[in-house]
Copies of this chain bind each other. A is one copy, B any other.
Amino acid sequence: MNFIAQALNLSKSAASRLDERNILRKAFVKHPFFGDIEEAFRFEKKFGQFEEGTVVVKAKDSLKVFRGFPKIKRTLLLNPTIKKHFGSRDIVLEEKMNGYNVRIVKIGENLYAITRRGLICPYTTEKARILIDDEFFRDYPDYMLCCEAVGKASPYVPTEVYGIENLDFFLFDIREGRTNRPLTVDEKIEIAKIYGLKLAEILATVSSEDTEKMREIIEKLDRNRREGVVFKDREMKLNPLKYTTSYANQSDLRYAFRFFGEYGRDFMLSRVVREAFQSFEFEDEEKFNERCLQLGRAILEPMIESIRACKRGEMIYEESELVFENQEVIELFKMHMRLLGVEFRVEVLDEGRIRLKRVMRGTSDKIKGILQGSYWK
């Protein structure tokens, strides 16, 4: 793993600290489909300036570094936080889509898709090679197209609100792999136009004081069952901020409570706190009751659904249907899921189509125990 210290320009002492802290993990499953890559490791945690999810790749003739996508801080209030953060700059409101974050990069002759945690995903890679024209990389060989992968055929976050049956990519950032330096919003728009890339929608440019307008946009997104907004400095000099709709908060809760044996308490509390601050900032009394009812439903309905499923003798699964072009990639994807440590089943539907079922064993076992007369601790 000497190449990592070399690729990152680490001092000897930094290299040995990296080693001691046991931060590196395999980033991919070796396979002809990933033939450009000899070795690749990902950072499981932040290390110095290197974000979690940073990937270092040894290709035939080169060493490549793809920095992890930086965490975007969340605001719970529009006022005063947006103004305080952005000062007097104009800010761009971009749609925050509900999918999974991938960095599309070029290694050797081919495109590769890296997920948030730094794993090179075969399924997403296959989709990227089909959907993304790699001409961009002839001009920007060491850049990353940071995209939201969205659609029903998603192995990680299946969503249906966008009307995308398969999977598609929506560009939100272009960053230099080695430094994580982002292009400006205008450069990104220009590049998307030139290379025919789809953008995460830019909703508006507003003054940082215009919380009224921001709120309108968020309420409209909420009505359309969208996830939320990323607030960006047009120059990308300041860090972006994010804000989610009530719909997104509640749909997160719905998901987490369906699999309450798997999902962390932190996950649940944070969504509820978001709802409270939004209600405090936005709400009239009438809407408040509706929010409470919806919140209660988002918590209880999925739990009871899981209890009923167990009562019927079923296991609790998270399901999605995936579509592959290449039979071999299905096998590779299964190996990839094993690398992730996921317990899953695959049902073949027809040529290239599978149903992926993640087994939620924690939830299933807990509920079954209680149904058979166990105590709660």
Contacts of A83 in B (CB 8 A): 373
**Given A75-B375, A84-B373, A241-B375, residue A299 in contact with residue B272 (CB < 8 A):** yes
Determine the main DSSP class of A at the interface with B: helix
Query: Interface-forming stretch among A143-151, A167-175, A285-293, A345-353?
Result: A285-293
Q: Are B307 and A280 in contact (CB under 8 A)?
A: yes
**Given A273-B260, A307-B280, residue A76 in contact with residue B292 (CB < 8 A):** no
Chain B's closest residue to A269 (CB) is B265
Contacts of A276 in B (CB 8 A): 257, 299-300, 303-304, 307
Q: Are B377 and A272 in contact (CB under 8 A)?
A: no
Contacts of A269 in B (CB 8 A): 260, 265, 268
Q: Taking the complex as formed, is A294 at the interface, i.e. its CB lies under 8 A from any CB of chain B?
A: yes
Q: Are A81 and B293 in contact (CB under 8 A)?
A: no
Within A286-328, the residues touching B (CB, 8 Å) are: 288-289, 291-297, 299-301, 303-304, 307-308
The docked-state distance in angstroms from the alpha carbon of A81 to that of B370 is: 8
Q: How large is the interface on A (under 10, 10 to 19, 20 to 34, 35 or more residues)?
A: 35 or more
The docked-state distance in angstroms from the alpha carbon of A260 to that of B73 is: 21
**Given A265-B269, A276-B300, residue A80 in contact with residue B293 (CB < 8 A):** no
The docked-state distance in angstroms from the alpha carbon of A51 to that of B300 is: 35
Contact of A293 among B77, B296, B304, B372 (CB under 8 A): B296
Chain A, 265-280, contact with B by CB distance < 8 Å: what is the 0/1 string?
A: 1101110111111011
- Tell me, rounded to whole Å, the shortest Cβ–Cβ distance linking A272 to chain B: 6
Q: Which residues of A are at the interface with B, using a C-beta cutoff of 8 A?
A: 73-77, 80-81, 83-85, 241, 257, 260, 264-266, 268-270, 272-277, 279-280, 288-289, 291-297, 299-301, 303-304, 307-308, 370-377
